[in-house]
Copies of this chain bind each other. A is one copy, B any other.
Amino acid sequence: MQQKMSENGAIPRQGKVLTVDTMNANVKKVDYAVRGPIVQRAVQIEKELKEGVKKPFDEVIKANIGDAHAMGQRPITFFRQVMALCTYPQLLDDNKFPEDAKNRARRILQSCGGNSIGAYTTSQGIDCVRQDVAKYIERRDGGIPSDPDNIYLTTGASDGIVTILKLLTAGEGLTRTGVMISIPQYPLYSASIAELGAVQINYYLNEEKCWSLDISELQRSLQAARKHCNPRVLCIINPGNPTGQVQSRQCIEDVIQFAAKENLFLMADEVYQDNVYAKGCEFHSFKKVLFEMGPEYSKKVELASFHSTSKCYMGECGFRGGYMEVINMDADVKAQLTKLVSVRLCPPAPGQALMDLVVNPPQPGEPSHQTFMQERTAVLSALAEKAKLTEQILNTVPGISCNPVQGAMYSFPRITLPERAISEAKAKGQAPDMFYCMKLLEETGICLVPGSGFGQREGTYHFRMTILPPTDKLKLMLNKLKDFHQRFTQQYS
């Protein structure tokens, strides 16, 4: 029942002021697969199950999103104790809470206006939290200095990423800012680029080499893009989402060299920095490698790196905590950034407090240290086990081929689809892997995201699956998936 009206936003005399024809055209181009049609259908099916509709399964297993607590992971006790103390300071008199938790809470509250996390914080984030973040980065990076003035607390990492992209978006037509993103990518990037009206530049990860990044591919992609836009930004996700690879130190050095040579602003999405499982793999921050390359690089290359409370061993997505560190940002631009973030007043104070605990966890000798380490290790070793398990089981299925899940929380296996399935999907106007995932959901209750939501090489098909379900459920799910894939292949062969 849409009315026809001009694309240029002219007001109709009658009818709605705001229609899809007269709304922001960039917003229309936004796509966000992780919460797209598959997930909407999954929510519907859950409702149907509740209402007693008969299905060939009892529950929907949501392996579509990196949402650890929703998959049964328990919060870290110490974090929640401190957060409860910050929220309801009367508990500071309660001897059920350990002293180190109370000390952390007191310190955070002292930095808050009126000693309340209900006060606005400074727009850049609570001073003591930014100091703790800087100290954490210094420890992590073997002593390379970090300046609290370069730290901005954010509403999850997404907020920081969008903010930096926003600063960088300028020009028109051939001079419009181009943003290089990996394919497959995390769709926050394509969505934000669309919303800002920047130009998306794809560079493909090498699936044959465990989703590694080839500089020659960066070069190809950049050269092609220079013909139609102004490439200014190179985005990297390490460890990789949705692809689960961990970049080698050498590769990071090569990327930095490339960015320096080609005058690109580097954005390093490092929210999975604690999620490294594979033997021989290690997390290297872009900041650290940049500084180890010497002043020629460390004083020149502009870098923003992002972290969050949502992933790693804590999985506290709901709090929307995060930070970014900006390196070599022009001082006047930094003043603009500070002004820009002030318009939203401040990131949520509870998320800031939680970020503080992540960067300043219990230390040896403190009463909560042992429990904290046990809980942390338990989560990370379970994830390592599940990463292995996922790769192993998927690789037993003819027609599915899965790279090792070296890090992060996802596998992104390639699936071979029969020609008949592909043409049936196309006849329906669906991406073939969307068709596959939708059928999987309807028949088994397993909710995955089709590879087309992340981007993939033409003619290849994938899905993204989180490794977050509890081990037993994950095994069950992988076996159901195996059966489904065989059934599907037979049906369409």
Which residues of A does B touch, CB under 8 Å? 2, 8-13, 16-20, 22-25, 27-28, 30-32, 34-35, 43, 65, 67-73, 75, 80-81, 83-84, 87-88, 91, 94, 96, 112-114, 116-123, 155-156, 158-159, 162, 166-172, 175-177, 188, 191-192, 195, 230, 232-233, 263-265, 302, 314-320, 328-330, 332-333, 336, 339-340, 342-351
The CA of A68 and the CA of B155, in the complex, are separated in Å by 22
Q: How far is the CA of A492 from the CA of B181 in the complex (A)?
A: 59
Given A84-B87, A167-B18, A320-B348, A343-B119 contact (CB < 8 Å)? no
16 contacts across the A-B interface (CB closer than 8 A): A2-B330, A13-B263, A17-B263, A18-B168, A22-B232, A23-B167, A32-B339, A32-B343, A34-B342, A117-B318, A155-B320, A318-B348, A318-B349, A319-B348, A320-B348, A350-B350
**Contact in complex: A336, B28 (CB < 8 Å):** yes
Q: Is the CB of A24 within 8 A of B170?
A: yes
Most central of A167, A170, A302 by chain B CB within 10 Å = A170
Task: State which of B13, B72, B158 has its C-beta within 8 Å of the C-beta of A343.
Answer: B158
Name the B residues within 8 Å of A117 (CB-CB). Answer: 318-319
Number of copies: 2
Residue of B2, B18, B320 touching A329 (CB-CB under 8 A) = B18
- Taking each of A12, A172, A342, A346, which has the highest tally of chain B beta carbons within 10 Å of its own beta carbon? A342
List the B side residues contacting A71 at CB < 8 Å: 114
CA distance A343 to B16 in the complex (A): 26
Q: Which residues of B contact A195 (CB under 8 A)?
A: 166, 340, 343
Asked whether A159 lies within 8 Å of B344 as measured between CB atoms, the reply is yes
Residue of B nearest to A232 (CB): B17
Name A167's contact: one of B12, B27, B188, B319 (CB within 8 Å).
Answer: B27
Which single member of B69, B73, B345 contacts A156 (CB below 8 Å)? B345
Chain B residues whose CB sits within 8 angstroms of the CB of A315 once the complex forms: 118
Closest beta carbon of chain B to A474's beta carbon, Å? 15
Is the CB–CB distance between B192 and A343 below 8 Å?
Answer: yes
Known: A20-B330, A188-B343, A265-B18. A171 touches B119 (CB 8 A): no
**Cα A343 to Cα B30 with chains together (Å):** 9
Q: How far, in angstroms, from A314 to B118 measured CA to CA in the complex?
A: 9
In the complex, which residues of chain B have a beta carbon less than 8 angstroms from the beta carbon of A172? 8
Given contacts A30-B339, A317-B120, A18 and B330 within 8 Å (CB-CB): yes
Contacts of A96 in B (CB 8 A): 94
